[in-house]
Structure 1
Amino acid sequence: MKTDKNELEAIFPKGEKGSADYFTGNAYNIGLVDVDSVFTTAVGNVYFEPGARSNWHSHPAGQILIITDGVGYHQIEGQPIETIKRGDVVKCPPNVRHWHGASPEVGLQQLYIVPNTEKGIVDWQEAVTDEQYFKNKK
């Protein structure tokens, strides 16, 4: 049950706090499907507190995001920032830099799917600056 319009309804456990090397703000990750030789796919949940976001990163085989609650942002390098919300599905193409995270006012929960992990999982890069993050708020 939600007690506040800005409070997210948890579907999965919150998980471990993400490293400041890869996230700005408080983001929590829990793996839901471990990679093995049969299912070469990683699946997990990330909970971003308001204002939290990932660094720029890419995935050798791409990534699919399924937004399960909240409001956030997603940006593929060179394209405008998109607002994402509960029920949205986002495809991040292979080897394309992007970032995603919560809006400043409302948190975000997302499932991530990283297919074909035999090609690699993630290439973390630099942090998204406040100027980049707030660009669409001007």
Structure 2
Amino acid sequence: MKIIACGSVPTIIAPDKYFTGRVLQTPIIEKEAPARLRATLVSFEPGARTFWHTHPLGQTLYVTSGAGRAQTWGGPIQEIKAGDVISFDPGEKHWHGAGAQTAMTHVAMQEALDGVHADWLEQVTDEQFGD
């Protein structure tokens, strides 16, 4: 058994090469090979969001507070809120983040394939984000 004490892992400001707006990330777990799991608590201020991206083995989000948005390439923007679980298939191009006027926090969970958890693509434009 291993216990990671609350407060022992620092929260970081997410890099602007993958996110628009202010986003905070607090790592929950990153297992070493042969395990592949990574989970992170991600907090988005209003208007903040990820860039378009994919995950080689898919991704699951669990919204813990607030309300936000998620979209897959070519699909409509979906409203997401606390308690929702969102699942993206392997290789599915998507983004997720806060609402225009609301903050949102979720737990992001994904597995690595050959050490890769995500493939980051282009920025979500203000026009794509809306409002």
TM-score by length of 1: 0.84
Which structure has greater strand proportion? 2
Residue equivalent to 2:109:
113
Residue equivalent to 2:93:
97
Once superposed, which parts of structure 1, at least 4 consecutive aligned residues long, lie more than 3 Å away?
Answer: none
Residue equivalent to 1:36:
32
Residues 60 and 88 in structure 2, CA contact (< 8 A), matched pair in contact too:
yes
| Structure 2 counterparts to residues 50-69 of structure 1, below 5 A | 50-69=46-65
Residue equivalent to 2:78:
82
- Rounded to whole Å, the distance in 2 between the matches of 1:126 and 1:25 is 15
- Rounded to whole Å, the distance in 2 between the matches of 1:105 and 1:14 is 27
Residues 56 and 113 in structure 2, CA contact (< 8 A), matched pair in contact too:
no
AA in 2 matched with 1:63 = Q
Which structure has greater helix proportion? 1
How many corresponding residue pairs?
A: 123
State the SS of the aligned residue for 1:31: strand
User: What is the Cα-based RMSD across aligned positions, in Å?
Assistant: 1.6
Segments of structure 2 that go 5 or more residues without pairing to the other structure are 1-6
- Rounded to whole Å, the distance in 2 between the matches of 1:59 and 1:118 is 9
AA in 2 matched with 1:87 = G
> Percent identity of the aligned residues?
36
AA in 1 matched with 2:29 = V
- Rounded to whole Å, the distance in 1 between the matches of 2:122 and 2:32 is 29
Give the drift of 1:34.
1.2
Give the drift of 1:35.
2.4
- Rounded to whole Å, the distance in 2 between the matches of 1:129 and 1:118 is 28
